[in-house]
Structure formats: C-alpha cells, structure tokens
Amino acid sequence: MGKFARRRLIAVLVVLSVVFGAGGLLYANRGIIRAAVEQLQGNDFPGPGHGEVKITVNAGDNGDVIAQQLVDGGVVKNFRTTYKLIVDLNPTFYPGIFTLKLEMKSIDAIKALTDQDSASLQRTTIKEGLRASVIFKVLSESTGLPKSDFESLFTKPSDFGLNSKLPNLEGYLFPATYTFAPGSSAKSILQEMVDRMQQEIDTFGIPEGKVHEVLTLASVIQKEARLKDDFYKVSRTFLNRLEDGMHLQSDATVSYGVGGNTVSTSAADRANKNGYNTYLNPGLPVGPISAPGAVAIDAALHPAEGKWLYFCTINLETGETVFSSTFSQHEKAVAKWLAWMKDHPEYE
C-alpha cells in the first residue's frame, strides 16, 4: 500500500470512529468499517455491478458456503473479504433463488441475499386426486430429489405426527401449490403437505376419530366425481348405499387395490381380494385412494339431498354424469357410457 493510500485509510478509520463512537456502537458497525477498508485496499469490487447472475441459497447454508457461491458466481471479488463481512454483520439469509449482478460490492451482495421479498422460489403444483406414487414423481421432478427419498417415507406416518396405526401417507398429503425452499429434504416437504392437510381438517372441524373415515370417503369422491356439483351428489350416493347395506362398488377403489390406472376394471380386478375392493368388501375401503381437495372433503361432510343409489359418468370429456335411484335407470346410463367408450377407446 502506498503512502497516500495509507493516509487515506487512516483518515477513513478516524472519521468512522468519530461517527460510530467507541465500544459497542463501533462493534455493531464494524461491518461497514470493514467494507470501507476493503474497498481502499482493493479487495472488493467498487460496484454497483453489471449483468446478472442467479445465486441459490439453500436451507441451512452457512456464511462460508454463501461467500464461496458469490465468489464462484463472479458476484464478489474476494472470499475472505465477503466472509469476514458476513461474520461481522451476522445477517439472516433466506432460502431462494436471487438475481444479483456481476462484480458487486460484497456488502451490497450480502444485503441482497437478506431481502426475503426478492427471493424467487419454484412453485410445485399438486393436483387433486393424485395418488401418492404420482405425487412423489411430481415432487421429484420439481425439486430434483430422488423419488426414492419420498417413497421411503410413504409407510412411516408416525414420523409426521400421524396415527401410527395408519398404513401409509395416502390421502394425508394436501393437494395445493407449494413453494418449497431450495435444499428442502423429502421429509420436510412431505411434512409441509401433511401439516397443510391438518389445517384443512381443523378448518372443517373434523373430530379426530372421524378423520380417517372422512378422508377415505373424500378420496373416493375425488376420483369418481368430475363436476363440482356432482361431488355432493356422489357423496350422497355412496352414503345412501352404505346406509342401505349395499357395497360401494367403486371402480376407482378396485383400480387402486390392483395398482391399475384405468377408468374401467376387469372381472379379475373386481375379484381380487384386497382391502380396497369395494365390490367384495362392505363399507369404505381400508384407507384413502388419492389426495382429496377441499371440495371433496366438504362433499364428504355435507352431501347433497337425494335418493340416488347409482351414478355413471356417460361422457368422460365433459364429465356429464347420470344419477339414478333405481337399477333399471342405472342400466340405461351404463349403456350410454359403453356406447361412448366404444367411440373413444383412448379412455379405456
């Protein structure tokens, strides 16, 4: 450092000491002092910078990781300078994807990463009616985490604060649009979805002892109904059948039980002995078969008024569904569905 530069540095330190005082106040502002010193010593870019670069802050990243990212991205000039500033300032960093400039002042780059509102988080949309296996695929593609990370947690409901007697997480992952912080684990992501479902349960005021039953019925309604008004009619139809001692005979539950993904089921599917086969077994299936949304849950709790015992969707494109109170009426609806399916084999 030349003689003139040293004099400037001393002058700056004197001025800063006068402005900020001694002791605790000087300590609190030492980051600002350090930034000025590093500028004079040529260890920092003068700023304000140019162009743009994306910097990702993951959940749990500490100061040295962030400082190295900034150096590697060309945002700041010197790791030591940036890291020392982070230590002095002790900022709170927020997970997210931030747009910064190249060749910024270290103190400006750090400030940008502490602005929660400027963080860009990737949105992940989980649609109503998806099975957990499909949800895991969507989550894996969105977050970059292996699908196996999610699958390994599927049969561990107690790890998420749920009843240990539940067989798995099916039906307890609420379908919604989420913004998961970069670096989130599969466990934390699924916990967020379970917690969101619990919020819905609390909003509807579902008694703890009724939660599994309600979500199971709602999950079947979600898979069987197409139009919003029909959700409530489907709910009433199923409840009428249960009250009359009839089997639900839901193809959606049968398909789930055999790992199928088609609208219709075969005689072999309907003869398969499993807890989801509502052709063979009375009552509801042993558990949910999909992720029910708010409308399906509401329909399970507040069914429409009617004496229907059957329903059949006769147009899978429009969702048009016929509800019947007698078997002869239902047979006519089934004939219309079969005719439609013949003309649309791609829906098989």
What pLDDT score was predicted for residue 345? 85
At 123, which helix (H) or strand (E)? strand 123-125
Model-level pTM greater than 0.85?
Answer: no
pLDDT at 179 over 80: yes
Tell me: the pLDDT tens digits for 239-284?
Answer: 999 999 999 999 999 999 998 887 678 899 899 999 999 999 999 9
Count the Cβ atoms, other than its own, within 10 Å of residue 40.
Answer: 16
Give the distance, in angstroms, between the CA of residue 160 and the centroid of all CA atoms in the same chain. 15
Alpha-carbon distance of 29 to 25, in angstroms, equals 6
- Domains of the chain: residue spans and CATH: 3-118 (3.30.1490.480), 123-204 (no CATH), 208-347 (no CATH)
Angle at 90 between CA 89 and CA 95, to 5 degrees: 120
pLDDT at 295 over 90: yes
* Residues 193/171, Cβ–Cβ less than 8 Å: no
| CA-to-CA separations, 222 to 7, 38, 83, 121, 200, in angstroms, rounded | 75, 61, 52, 29, 15
